[in-house]
Amino acid sequence: MDEPDKEPTEKPTEDREEAEQEGQWMARNWLGIAVVSILFLLLLALGMMQATGLVDVFAPIADSETGQWAAFGVLALAVLALAGWSWRAVVS
């Protein structure tokens, strides 16, 4: 019977410089994920307020409701692109 924890999947870091680089990599990537998460939550709140008619944030750039939702869609695509870029950095 094999024990899964008998051998670690990754070897421990023994070099100080390598450990610092790994720590900086982790901090940079998790900071990127945090920023994208915050932007997504702000976009969600904005969309909910826009849907209920509480705010008309996009009124200066779009006259109709369809135009305002199109502007919201462009903003959502920008956040998704940023999320994809951030996730690519974590995976690689």
Instruction: Count how many domains the chain has.
Output: 1
Residue 11 lies in a domain: no
Residue 10 lies in a domain: no
Residue 64's pLDDT is 87
Residue 5 lies in a domain: no
Domain that holds residue 74: 18-91
Residue 1 lies in a domain: no
Summarised one tens digit per residue, pLDDT across range 22-78 is 888 888 888 888 888 999 999 999 999 999 989 888 888 888 888 889 999 999 999
pTM greater than the 0.75 cutoff: no
Residue 21's pLDDT is 85
Which of 91, 84, 82 is CA-nearest to residue 25? 91
